[in-house]
Each structure stands twice: as C-alpha cells, then as structure tokens.
Amino acid sequence: MYLFLTLVIALCTAQCQGSDLYTVYAHSIVDTPKQIKRFTDAIITPDHQTTSVTFLDTQKETGYGINRLISEITTYTKKPINRSKMHMAGAQDIQELHKTIESIPQNNNIILFGCSRGAATVINELGQNNPANIIAIILDASPANMSETIHPALAKLGIHTSYDKTIFSTLFPKHEKETITPLESIKKIKDKNLPILLIHSQDDSKVPYSHSLRLYKTFLENGFKHVYLATISQGRHAFLLQDPQIKDIYLQAVHSFYKIHNLPFNEKYAQNDITLYQPRIDDIEKKIKEFEEVLQKEYQTSLYRNIIILGLTLAACFLIYSAKKSNK
C-alpha cells in the first residue's frame, strides 16, 4: 500500500510539474504578428502552442509629417511602416521579445522562430539575456548585421559600403549606429548545445544569403555543437512557404531538425539524416569570399558608370554654356 501511494503521489507531482512547449514567433519589418500564418506548417504541430511578439513598428504613427503619411498608407495596405518605432533588432525590439518570453511560465520550454528582423532580434535576445528555457531556434533569412543588409543596393548605386551605417540610420532613424549586431551577440550566448537551424534563399533580395553563411560560420567558431544551414536555391524573402516548388524543401529541413532534436514534428516531412544541412566550414568560407568578390566588382562597375555619367553631364553643361556665350 505504501509503495502504491508513493507511485500515485509521484505521478501526480510529475503531471503538475510537467512543462508545455511553445513556439514564439518574431516577425519581420513591414509586417505584423499575423505573418505567423505563412509559417503555420513549419511551426504548428498538435503537441505545442504558439504565440507571437508584437514589435512597436506595427503601431500607427501619431505625430505629424511624412512619417504619419507613410504610416497611414502602409497600415491601410496591412504592411505597416512606422519609422519612428523601427528599432531594427535593437534594444527596444529585444525588450519586446524578452517580455513575450517572460509572459510564458518558466517551467515551459520555448522554440524561438524568427524571420528577418525577427530572427536578428532572436539572436540579440539570446546574447543579451540568455533565457534558460529556450530549447531551439529557427532563423529564416536572418541578418548578421542590420546595416550591412543594404550593401548590395549601395554597390549597385556605386556607393562604398563604408557608408552603410550612416545611410541605414538615415533610413531607420531609431536604429542606433553602434548597437550590437547578431554576429557579436553569438559570442555571448552561453548554451553551446542549443539546436540552431538557419534557412535562407540564395536569391533573397532583402537580406543577402551571405548573412546566413556568416552566422553559420560564427556559430561553429564559437563552439555551438548543433548548427544547421538549409540553403534554398530560390525564393522570395519571407514567402518561401508560399512557393509550391519550395514548400516541401523548407518543411523537410524544419521537421527533420525537429525530429533529430526530439521536438514535435510532422512525419510526412521529417528525415533521419540531416547532414545535408551541415556544410563544411571551408565551403562556407569559399562562398562568403565569392559573394564579397561579386559585390566589389559590382561596386567598381557602378562607380565607373557614375564617373562616366558625371563626365558626360559636365561636358554637356560646358557645351550648353559655351553655345549660349557665343550667341551673345
């Protein structure tokens, strides 16, 4: 009888102390927590709950001026832009994500799933606060450094990438120039056994694919033991699961990651072998170098084009001036 009562008490105690599993989703800019709907098949399984952080840039601008006009128009189109609250994975965004994590009872386990700015915020949150109940993270198109996301655009305009911080802070005035970057945050994350899955499209036009390459390399160099990179050959930023040709590839990566780390998964997509998502670091370094070479070449070509245009413009102005002067 005593043994029976002991077993009953132990079972009841285990049930009372049992933990639930949550996925906390962190959305990108120019979007809202409703973005989670695009990732339903990757996030939701019958065995866990989901919630989403709400970043402040989803709020309508209350002041006056051009920011208010932009906010009104973009809120109406359900793609909110509030430049006065776009912290771009900085301190305020980290705080909002941390508040969401803290709203979940501490005995529950959490998967953090971030897209773009949300993914960068996930890394920064882990580096700054190291919450103990995070058991895995998934980073879709994560920036390694927010201001460096505009490097391809600068190169196409013939502007040197050393101006990235100044230009980025002009575009997003609430982003602090000297804020910590995801690359720097990685060094401050304590749990080296944390499972990490990076997903990125090679032709992403918003956040270059090279950012995930650099993050993957930095995680490995800092002693993380379970890091994976799923490279998607093509696809639109933040909309990979909406492409029928890509959806199954994306879900295979996610649910194989879940399965190998004993998380709820969809058997339809899960594979037992995920070495496909563990590229060698020397191959990664080669791809990073190739990207940098292409970027430098594009910058030089654009700069040369700009010099020619400027020269032709000045020559045309001189000819017009000379013609007017000779007619007097």
pLDDT tens for 250-296 read: 999 999 999 999 999 999 999 999 999 999 999 999 999 999 999 99
- The answer, yes or no, to whether residue 69 has pLDDT greater than 80, is yes
* Residue for token pair 């990108």: 28
pLDDT tens for 192-205 read: 999 999 999 999 99
What is the C-alpha to C-alpha distance for residues 96 and 113, in angstroms, rounded to an integer? 15
Give all strands (DSSP E) within 159-299, no chain letters: 196-201, 227-232
What is the C-alpha to C-alpha distance for residues 272 and 261, in angstroms, rounded to an integer? 11
Q: What pLDDT does residue 298 have?
A: 97
Three-state DSSP at 322 gives helix
- The answer, yes or no, to whether residue 18 has pLDDT greater than 60, is no
Number of CB atoms found within 10 A of residue 243's CB: 15
pLDDT tens for 131-167 read: 999 999 999 999 999 999 999 999 999 999 999 999 9
DSSP bridge partners of 112 = 24, 137
State pTM to two decimals: 0.91
What is the C-alpha to C-alpha distance for residues 215 and 209, in angstroms, rounded to an integer? 10
Three-state DSSP at 17 gives helix
Structural domains present in the chain: 19-326 (3.40.50.1820)
pLDDT tens for 225-249 read: 999 999 999 999 999 999 999 999 9
Q: What pLDDT does residue 207 have?
A: 98
